[in-house]
Amino acid sequence: MDQAKLESIIEGVLFTFGEAVEPARIAKAAEVETDEVVRALKHMQQTWKEQGRGIQILELDGSYQMCTPAELYEYLIRIAKQPRKHVLTDVLLETLSIIAYKQPITKSEIEKIRGVSCDHAVSKLVEYSLVTELGRLDAPGRPMLFGTTEEFLRSFGVSSIEELPTPAPDLVEEFKQQAEQEIKLDVGGE
């Protein structure tokens, strides 16, 4: 299959689905090898970027999706008349970061780390499509497991969880010492 035809198929599939699609699924539909689809996707990404097009192709955890470049959002907002923006409070950000770094994770594990109930925070993050239910843990009570979504990746500008920053070891040690101090103060204050 020639390059133009394959790129046309890829563009049509990504536009129609509106969400991330794995290259293997596109390859199966186009009856070509997956590596041909990946090469075409990379070529399309580069070409569209060079042309300054109003659509780009993002790679999200090994899948690909069409979206509008961030520099065009102000124009979209003018038309959409301020779409509702979700506010991530400190509590939501803290809960989201725990889920992102520890996934898959249960509510009780999040609560153990945070030291307080997380029902509301997890519910809000699910409502905002930043977190999703991944299934159930094979343990007594079969608690729900949570993890991040493609929307999380898009919102934070990373293509996979592996791209999340890791804290420096000296900061981790400092955080541990602060937590131990807080525990000592809490126990001493009782």
Q: Is the pLDDT assigned to residue 23 strictly greater than 80?
A: yes
- Over residues 161-182, mean pLDDT: 78
Query: How many C-beta neighbours within 10 Å does residue 183 have?
Result: 11
Q: Identify the pLDDT of residue 10.
A: 94
Beta partners for residue 144, in sequence order: 136
pLDDT digits (tens, 9 = 90+) for 102-145: 999 999 999 988 888 899 999 999 999 999 999 998 888 899 99
Domain positions in the chain:
3-75, 90-189
pLDDT digits (tens, 9 = 90+) for 59-118: 998 999 999 988 888 888 777 765 566 788 889 999 999 999 999 999 999 998 888 889
Residue 186: pLDDT band (50, 70, 90) is: low
Residues 6+ apart with CB under 8 A from 61: 20, 150, 153, 159, 160, 161
Q: Please report where in the chains the tokens 């905002």 appear, as a residue.
A: 128
Q: According to CATH, what is the number of the domain 90-189?
A: 1.10.10.10
The correct answer on CATH 1.10.10.10 for the domain covering 3-75 is yes
Residues 6+ apart with CB under 8 A from 120: none
- Over residues 166-170, mean pLDDT: 78
- The burial of 23, by beta-carbon neighbours within 10 Å (0-12 exposed, 13-18 middle, 19 or more buried), is given as buried
The one-letter amino acid code at 71 reads E
Q: Is the pLDDT assigned to residue 180 strictly greater than 80?
A: no
